[in-house]
Amino acid sequence: MGVLADTVLQAGGEAIGVIPRTLVEKEIAHTALTQLRVVESMHERKALMADLADAFILLPGGFGSWEEFCEAVTWLQLGIHQKPCGILNVNGYYDALTALISHAVSEGFLRTAYQEMVVVQDDVATLISHLRAVVLPTEPKWATNRER
């Protein structure tokens, strides 16, 4: 995350960090950001990041990245927000995840409309372009019992 923030700042962009106080106390905070917001818990962190975000993009990463992205997609599915969600599939890093999503659809655990709301691209510019154009579901998952 630090490399991404530094790259954004070097390009003249704004980088806003949201971090729990316990991590600041462990000296993990990036202090050269445009803005650093310190919160009391990871739950507060995720809620504030969701409020601040225009979209959610999953970059190659591990458990924390996956968990936060899946929560953002779930919130979109449930109608908690209407912000696009995308996966930057660098060198096929998320091929297995996209296959799992397709498997969930084929097994009846996920509607095709919710699979289609997650934009997957291997190029940053293309991903951002598609995120701007994606049509998001307007009906939350739990609002109907209709079939896919």
Residue type, 117: M
Please tell me whether residues 66 and 36 are part of one structural domain: no
Q: Tell me if 102 is assigned to some domain.
A: yes
- For residue 67, tell me if it sits in a domain: yes
- What total of structural domains would you count in the chain? 2
- CA–CA separation, 78 vs 143, rounded Å? 9
- pLDDT truncated to tens, each residue of the chain (148 aa)? 788 888 899 999 999 999 999 998 887 888 889 999 999 999 999 999 999 999 999 999 999 999 999 999 999 998 899 999 999 999 999 999 999 999 999 999 999 989 999 999 999 999 999 999 998 877 665 555 555 4
Judge whether 86 and 130 are in contact, CB under 8 Å.
yes
148 belongs to a structural domain: no
State whether 25 and 78 are in the same domain.
no
Residues 6, 11: Cα–Cα separation, whole Å: 9
**pLDDT at site 148:** 46
Q: pTM of the prediction?
A: 0.86
